[in-house]
Every structure is written in structure tokens, then in C-alpha cells.
């Protein structure tokens, strides 16, 4: 099942269209979810339960509009709606327990507003085990290419698996981006040092891609190895891609609840939808 969070905003509509398309490609049912978050209105003297429930009515309207969008976009996809109460991050996390994918817009009016671009996003992308897609940038253009970040960490493998499967389903190419930092020395590095660094980078990306090239022989792969900050390299790749895929790299004592700085950076600056993929 594919879960999409909505709040009635134009960005949520784009997320529903994306989710409906992916549901068709992946042959998955679609569940449209709206979170009614009463916590900002819980005033002890005036309990929210006594107020006219505009929040619920607004949620019902958002769901009805989103369902109409999904059915218009992909009539053959099985689509349903759920109105749930609670903070958006918790609602989304609980709904995604058995999901194949979670989709949200990058901005909104409430409910899932900015769901993947603040503290909520860090929590969701760190806790949800399935891929989380943030629909941002231009979504109606076609480059027939998916960009994916490659590095030498274990978190890279699930991202590559998701990217190659999406490329197979879409019939498009893969651009595998490996960015490495220029070493900082007291003096400029000699040419032999730079050659060794480039050779090591080429070896890493070749090792990472070898298995997936064999499993997906129908997918054309472009290897992009460059000396640059990973966020800059991936953001540039996003300008010519339909989707950017990154692994989730959390660090420290709360690693399981965090996405890394590269994931956060591309979520804020990419020019196309971004998928954050964690290891299951």
C-alpha cells in the first residue's frame, strides 16, 4: 500500500498525483490520510471537544478533494481515505507500518504542512521503514532519468535498490552520483595523490553498482563521479532528473530517529521530488 498525507493545499494535490502514478506502476492500493491535530488548540479552560469541529470538517473536505484527484488521475487504482487524530508525524509513522511507500508534499496549510522539512520530517524519515517521497519542484516535466546518491556506507544499498526498481518501472535511466571532498593539506596535493583519490572513488561506485547492473540489465546507468559537496552534486543532478533518491544517514545516540545532513540538504534544495530510503 502507498500512503499519501494531504491537507487541502496545492502541494498536497501534487503529492496525490505522484502517489496515484506510483500506485499504478507498483500495483499497490492507495490510502489518502489526513491528520487532525488538536494539540495546538488544547486550552484547559476551553477544551477543544467543546468547539465547533471545523478541524474535522476541513479534514473531510481535504480527503474528498484528494480522492477526486486520485480517481481522475488514475481511475484504475484502488483508493481509500482515512481521517485520523494526532500529530502528523505520529499518524504518518503508524499508518506506514506495512506501507510500500509514503508520499507527502513539501509545503501545506496544516496537517502535513512542511511534513518533511522540519523536526517532523526528521522524526518521520528516521522512523518510517519504507521509502518516504517528498514531492517538490517541477513534477510535470520529463527527463526520463532518476538520480541516486552513492557512497561507501551500508545505507547506500537500499537507496540503490529503490532507485533501480523505480527506473525499471518507469523505463528510464539511472544517474549514479558519487561526490568526494577535495583533501585539505597544508600544501597542494601532488598529482599522484589526486589520481589515487579518483581511482578509489571510481572503484567505490563500480563496486556499489555491479550487482544492480546485473539485476537490471535493461536500465541504462550513467556514472557521475565528481569532487564536490554531496548536497551540491545531488542538487545539480536533480535539475535534470524526475526523482532524486538518497539513503538515510543518521548519526549519534539518536541515529534511528534522524536523517543525515545530506538528506536534509537535498530535501530543502532539490529541484525535483526526493525519496529518502532507510534500510529495513
Residue-by-residue DSSP string for 101-124: EEEEES--SSSSTTTTSSHHHHHH
* CATH 3.40.50.12370 fits domain 145-277: yes
Locate the domains of the chain by residue range.
2-135, 145-277
User: DSSP strand E in the chain: where?
Assistant: 2-5, 30-36, 79-85, 101-105, 132-135, 145-149, 173-180, 221-227, 243-247, 274-277
Global pTM reads: 0.84
The per-residue pLDDT string of the chain (280 residues; one tens digit each, 9 = 90 and over) reads: 999 998 888 888 999 999 999 999 999 999 999 988 766 555 555 555 544 477 788 889 999 999 999 999 999 999 999 999 887 878 888 888 889 999 988 765 454 544 444 444 556 666 778 899 988 866 778 899 999 999 887 778 999 999 999 999 999 999 999 987 665 554 555 555 667 777 777 788 888 899 999 999 999 999 998 888 888 999 999 999 999 999 876 543 333 334 567 777 788 788 899 999 987 6
pLDDT of residue 124: 62
pLDDT of residue 40: 55
Domains 2-135 and 145-277 share a fold: yes
Beta strand 221-227 with 243-247: parallel, antiparallel or unpaired?
A: unpaired
pLDDT of residue 275: 92
pLDDT of residue 152: 81
* CATH 3.40.50.620 fits domain 2-135: yes
pLDDT of residue 262: 74
Amino acid at each position: 500500500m502507498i500512503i499519501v498525507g494531504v491537507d487541502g493545499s496545492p502541494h498536497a494535490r501534487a503529492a496525490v498525483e505522484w502517489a496515484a502514478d506510483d500506485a499504478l506502476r507498483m500495483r499497490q492500493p492507495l490510502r489518502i490520510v489526513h491528520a487532525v491535530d488538536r494539540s495546538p488548540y488544547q486550552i484547559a479552560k476551553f477544551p477543544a471537544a467543546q468547539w465547533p469541529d471545523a478541524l474535522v470538517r476541513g479534514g473531510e473536505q481535504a480527503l474528498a478533494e484528494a480522492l477526486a484527484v486520485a480517481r481522475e488521475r488514475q481511475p484504475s487504482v484502488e483508493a481509500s481515505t482515512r481521517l485520523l487524530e494526532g500529530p502528523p508525524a505520529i499518524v504518518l509513522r503508524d499508518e506506514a507500518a506495512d506501507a510500500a511507500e509514503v508520499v507527502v508534499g513539501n509545503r501545506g496549510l496544516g496537517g502535513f504542512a512542511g511534513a518533511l522539512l522540519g523536526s517532523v520530517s526528521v522524526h518521520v524519515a528516521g522512523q518510517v521503514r519504507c521509502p518516504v517521497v517528498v514531492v517538490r519542484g517541477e513534477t510535470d516535466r520529463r527527463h526520463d532519468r532518476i538520480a541516486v546518491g552513492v557512497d561507501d556506507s551500508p545505507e547506500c544499498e537500499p537507496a540503490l535498490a529503490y532507485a533501480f526498481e523505480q527506473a525499471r518501472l518507469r523505463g528510464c535511466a539511472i544517474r549514479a552520483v558519487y561526490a568526494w571532498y577535495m583533501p585539505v593539506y597544508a600544501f597542494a596535493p601532488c598529482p599522484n595523490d589526486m589520481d589515487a583519490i579518483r581511482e578509489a572513488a571510481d572503484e567505490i561506485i563500480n563496486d556499489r553498482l555491479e550487482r544492480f547492473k546485473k539485476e537490471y540489465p535493461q536500465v541504462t546507468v550513467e556514472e557521475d563521479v565528481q569532487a564536490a559537496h554531496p548536497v551540491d552534486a545531488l542538487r545539480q543532478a536533480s535539475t535534470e532528473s524526475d526523482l532524486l533518491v538518497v539513503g538515510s544517514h543518521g548519526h549519534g545516540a539518536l541515529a534511528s530517529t534522524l536523517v543525515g545532513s545530506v538528506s536534509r540538504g537535498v530535501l530543502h534544495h532539490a529541484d525535483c521530488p526526493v525519496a529518502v530510503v532507510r534500510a529495513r
